[in-house]
């Protein structure tokens, strides 16, 4: 039965897959030929060109995976806070604790890695060569405040800035989802994002992605009917149609990587960006309506990736870069670093992120927490 209220577990799974794509993105950027191709520089490696300028790029499309995070955040948070009785009076401190709380230990963890392995080696990957080499108090302070930009020591934190802005502007997004038809809001968000890319407006571009999620949150009840209709359709038709739609969505997500030089002009970059957003919307919608995709995303392994996704996002890049600088040119070291990232992310999620999340829930619902504590003491 389709749930129009409560947590949508399939979206947790989709978030987990997106986090793994980001990890793959950073791991592959340690390979010189792939990093060269990704940075738009000429490379003689045919494999690097195929992996970069084809739909195969979907497996390591890190930037596009972050866009998925933005859309999912818009959907989940607007849906949660758009309900009657939402605790708006405690929302801001709770959200800030939930969002920024894990950043402090992640920053300290990265600082330790910088101290243990100096980043003074010259390597061949443009991504590694352009990395921040030192991490001091000033950089750490920038990363903890986020609003003024980041130091670059933990590059995934760039997205946290926009998550923070969206969180503070959430009442506007909730109002838009309630007052504007979701179809119109979808189109408007895509148009504004197009204008942002064409005109170099970061805020218009990134905040519009959260608006896409807000529009989808308003469409969730209607998507329940769509899933019921698909479940009643002939099995073969549902499978073929779903696979085609999912594949098409994936191909659109990496529209900017279809061929070398496709985004050479600002206009083409804006056009392919729109195709990317359409593909992301398609994948998210399918995660709510196409039962085979929903079940895969709700499977135990993928749900685990969703549970550790935020922690993995925060800790993986310093680990990968530390391994790459400690053992220049060693792909085995990078592979081990990816595995280590999973282990550290699990520990981080269990002993750091989860307690912070629970504290944020107590801030959001102080009366419930007080009642629970009183009941425990009475017992």
| Span 180-209, pLDDT tens digits | 999 999 999 999 999 999 998 999 999 999
Q: At what angle do helices 170-179 and 202-232 cross, to 10 degrees?
A: 50
Q: What pLDDT score was predicted for residue 369?
A: 47
The domain locations on the chain are 9-378
Q: What pLDDT score was predicted for residue 367?
A: 64
DSSP 53: S
Q: What is the pTM of this model?
A: 0.95
Instruction: Give yes or no for a contact between 255 and 35, defined as CB atoms under 8 angstroms apart.
Output: no
Q: What pLDDT score was predicted for residue 302?
A: 97
Sign, CA torsion 179/147/206/348: negative
Average pLDDT over every residue of 103-109? 98
- Kindly tell me if the per-residue pLDDT of 371 is higher than 50: no
Phi-psi region of 328 (alpha: psi -120 to 50; beta: other; left: phi over 0): beta
Average pLDDT over every residue of 238-262? 97
| Span 260-319, pLDDT tens digits | 999 999 999 999 999 999 999 999 999 999 999 999 999 999 999 999 999 999 999 999
In this prediction, residue 334 has a pLDDT band, given cuts at 50, 70 and 90, of very high
**Pick from 298, 297, 314, 299: nearest CA to 356:** 314
**Pick from 224, 209, 353, 296: nearest CA to 12:** 296
Return d(Cα 67, Cα 210) in angstroms, integer.
Answer: 9
In this prediction, residue 5 has a pLDDT band, given cuts at 50, 70 and 90, of low
Listing DSSP states for 194-216 in one string gives HHHHHHT-HHHHHHHHHHHHHHH
Q: What pLDDT score was predicted for residue 1?
A: 38
């Amino acid at each position: 039965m389709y749930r129009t209220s409560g947590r949508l577990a399939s979206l947790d799974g989709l978030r987990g897959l997106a986090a793994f794509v980001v990890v793959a993105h950073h791991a592959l950027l340690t390979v010189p030929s792939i990093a060269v191709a990704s940075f738009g520089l000429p490379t003689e490696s045919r494999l690097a060109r195929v992996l970069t300028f084809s739909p195969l790029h979907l497996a390591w499309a890190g930037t596009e995976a972050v866009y998925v995070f933005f859309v999912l955040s818009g959907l989940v948070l607007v849906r949660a806070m758009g309900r009657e009785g939402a605790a708006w009076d405690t929302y801001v401190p709770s959200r800030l604790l939930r969002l920024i709380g894990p950043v402090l230990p992640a920053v300290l963890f990265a600082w330790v890695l910088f101290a243990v392995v100096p980043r003074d080696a010259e390597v061949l990957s443009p991504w590694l060569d352009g990395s921040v080499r030192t991490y001091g108090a000033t950089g750490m302070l920038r990363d903890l405040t986020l609003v003024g930009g980041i130091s670059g020591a933990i590059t995934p934190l760039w997205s946290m800035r926009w998550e923070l802005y969206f969180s503070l502007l959430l009442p506007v997004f909730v109002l838009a989802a309630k007052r504007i038809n979701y179809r119109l809001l979808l189109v408007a968000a895509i148009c504004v994002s197009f204008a942002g890319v064409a005109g170099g407006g970061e805020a218009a571009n990134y905040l519009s992605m959260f608006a896409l999620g807000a529009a989808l949150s308003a469409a969730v009840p209607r998507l329940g009917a769509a899933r019921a209709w698909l479940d009643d359709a002939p099995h073969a038709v549902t499978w073929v149609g779903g696979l085609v739609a999912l594949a098409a969505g994936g191909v659109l997500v990496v529209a900017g990587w279809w061929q070398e030089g496709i985004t050479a002009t600002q206009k083409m970059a804006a056009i392919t960006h729109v195709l990317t957003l359409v593909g992301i919307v398609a994948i998210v919608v399918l995660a709510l309506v196409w039962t085979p995709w929903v079940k895969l995303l709700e499977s135990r392994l993928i749900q685990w990736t969703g549970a550790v996704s935020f922690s993995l996002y925060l800790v993986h890049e310093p680990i990968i870069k530390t391994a790459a600088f400690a053992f220049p040119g060693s792909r085995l070291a990078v592979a081990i670093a990816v595995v280590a990232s999973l282990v550290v992310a699990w520990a981080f999620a269990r002993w750091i992120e989860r307690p912070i999340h629970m504290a944020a829930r107590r801030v959001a619902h102080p009366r419930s927490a007080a009642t629970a504590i009183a009941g425990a003491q009475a017992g």
